[in-house]
Chain A
Amino acid sequence: MAQTYATQETSNAGGFEPRIVAFVCNWCTYAGADLAGTSRLQYAPNVRVVKLPCTGRINPLFVLKAFEGGADAVLVSGCHPGDCHYTSGNYHARRRWTLFRDLLDRTGIDPRRLHFSWVSAAEGQKFADLINDITAKVREAGPFGATNPARRRP
């Protein structure tokens, strides 16, 4: 199964494989991603997961750094409101994301490349579906090279 999926990806015209960075919280989304793995759910290998204790720890600069380093898309994901392991970290994060997302959109970071989600420890399928969906959308949008305003140029 894994082999077939990989072949499907690399056979896409142009051979562009998106690089997606996901900043996730330890208690919910990371656990959900683990569950996807242990349940043998197939999801695109394009994502690099960065684990943090809580979405409240995510500094918007992390998102910028990911784009600076060449990420084609970024996902930020954590516990559903009310379920935060630290009670309110995700509420703080939600406010930041609302404003930061608008700011990045205004300055030319295509909103198709920046995603936010709530994925709980029990939502392995949701995580897999999310990654597959984002990967497909970004593959269609193409590499975020020339038009990435945050990208470090050689």
Chain B
Amino acid sequence: MSPIDRLRADAADLLRQGRAKVVLGYRQRGGQCIPVAVTDPEAAGALAWDPACKQNLAAYLRKPEVRRLRPVALVARPAVMRSLVVLAAESQVRPEDVVVLAVGDDGEYHGVLDLAGTAALLKEKYADLGHDAAAMKRIEELAAMTPEERAAFWAAEFAKCTRCYACRAACPACYCERCIVERNQPQWISTAARSHGNYAWNVIRAFHLAGRCTECGACEAACPQGIPLMLLNVGLAADVERQFGAKAGYDAEAEPVIGSWNAEDPEEFIR
């Protein structure tokens, strides 16, 4: 049986046995790979998988309509598996409510796992996931520019931003019921699609993800304007690893990077 056929068979079994009330996966529609929710075991044959499947299905766990269908099974590639571990570490998901249909980025299928099994798989097979090479290269190029050149680069990118918040909606780590941009006493971040608000929004969202982002790329894929958001998130994830030795999504007991501290944290920039 091919990996995708095994995945479909497992999905159907999970539903038949009541081990999951819904399977969140992907289906092909024309040239697009889009999310699908399967509740009928006979419909599991529609499940598909390819690297174009960018939307991070863990983002659906914040929807009460989805949680009502728990246990929820979801098709997860390594970055998505890591998202689930982050959600568990942040008490947003209970281990008994989630079942994982684990796939590798290359299409390999690892079978049905619970959250503990998922964390074990990540440590065993995906512990050395590097940061996206193309993004790192671009980040290095930007780092070699002057601050003014960098400011001009990002000003041009953020000028495209319409403040649709697709980046936020696509992200499993953005689960706040009231986002910082929706707070208006005071209005910390301008809601107007202008340079100051767009700068603040994109920078603060990246910052709120520091130490929590698993570099799945769903935000950049979701952005209808083609803004290279991963340059911000990968840059910060690389910083988190370099400065604090931390990588999000491997340890469900880990303390959040920004919420914790170490007496030996770096401070050479502090006068």
Are any A and B Cβ atoms less than 8 Å apart in their complex? yes
Residues of A within 8 A of B (CB): 60-61, 64-65, 68, 81-82, 88, 91-92, 94-111, 115-118, 130, 147-153
* Complex contact A61–B150 (CB within 8 A): no
CA distance A31 to B262 in the complex (A): 26
* Complex contact A102–B258 (CB within 8 A): no
* Complex contact B154–A107 (CB within 8 A): yes
Specify which chain A residues have a CB less than 8 angstroms from the CB of B243 in the assembled complex. Answer: 98-99
Specify which chain B residues have a CB less than 8 angstroms from the CB of A92 in the assembled complex. Answer: 258-259, 261
* Complex contact A149–B151 (CB within 8 A): yes
25 A-B pairs within 8 Å (CB atoms) are namely A60-B207, A81-B267, A82-B263, A91-B263, A92-B258, A94-B267, A95-B261, A97-B270, A98-B266, A99-B236, A99-B243, A103-B206, A106-B139, A106-B143, A107-B150, A108-B148, A108-B153, A115-B271, A117-B271, A130-B271, A147-B147, A149-B199, A151-B196, A152-B190, A153-B195
* Complex contact B270–A150 (CB within 8 A): no
CA distance A152 to B259 in the complex (A): 30
CA distance A99 to B231 in the complex (A): 15
Specify which chain B residues have a CB less than 8 angstroms from the CB of A82 in the assembled complex. Answer: 263
* Complex contact A108–B269 (CB within 8 A): no
Contact A96 B258, CB 8 Å, known A60-B204, A61-B188, A107-B199: yes
* Complex contact A103–B270 (CB within 8 A): no
Specify which chain B residues have a CB less than 8 angstroms from the CB of A61 in the assembled complex. Answer: 180, 188-189, 200, 204
What is the chain B residue whose CB lies nearest that of A100? B207
Specify which chain A residues have a CB less than 8 angstroms from the CB of B211 in the assembled complex. Answer: 99
Number of A-B contacts (CB under 8 A): 125
Chain B residues with a Cβ closer than 8 Å to the other chain, count: 49
Specify which chain A residues have a CB less than 8 angstroms from the CB of B203 in the assembled complex. Answer: 64, 103-104, 107, 150
Question: Which one, A108, A115, A153, contacts B196 given CB within 8 A?
Answer: A153
Specify which chain A residues have a CB less than 8 angstroms from the CB of B196 in the assembled complex. Answer: 68, 150-153
- The binding surface of chain B is classed by DSSP as helix
CB distance from B268 to the nearest CB of A (A): 10
Contact A150 B240, CB 8 Å, known A99-B210, A106-B235: no
CA distance A107 to B267 in the complex (A): 21
Question: Which one, B235, B258, B259, B263, contacts A103 given CB within 8 A?
Answer: B235
CA distance A48 to B188 in the complex (A): 20
Contact of B94 with A by CB under 8 A:
no
CA distance A43 to B266 in the complex (A): 29
What string of 1s and 0s marks CB contacts (under 8 Å) between B133-170 and chain A? Answer: 00000010011000111111111001000000000000
What string of 1s and 0s marks CB contacts (under 8 Å) between B184-218 and chain A? Answer: 00001110001110011001101100110000000
CA distance A153 to B262 in the complex (A): 40
What is the chain A residue whose CB lies nearest that of B148? A147
What is the chain B residue whose CB lies nearest that of A80? B270
What is the chain A residue whose CB lies nearest that of B211? A99
Contact of B232 with A by CB under 8 A:
yes
* Complex contact B244–A110 (CB within 8 A): no
Contact of B265 with A by CB under 8 A:
yes
What is the chain A residue whose CB lies nearest that of B158? A149
Question: Which one, A88, A99, A106, A151, contacts B150 given CB within 8 A?
Answer: A106
CB distance from B253 to the nearest CB of A (A): 19
Contact A94 B189, CB 8 Å, known A106-B139, A109-B151: no
CA distance A109 to B147 in the complex (A): 6
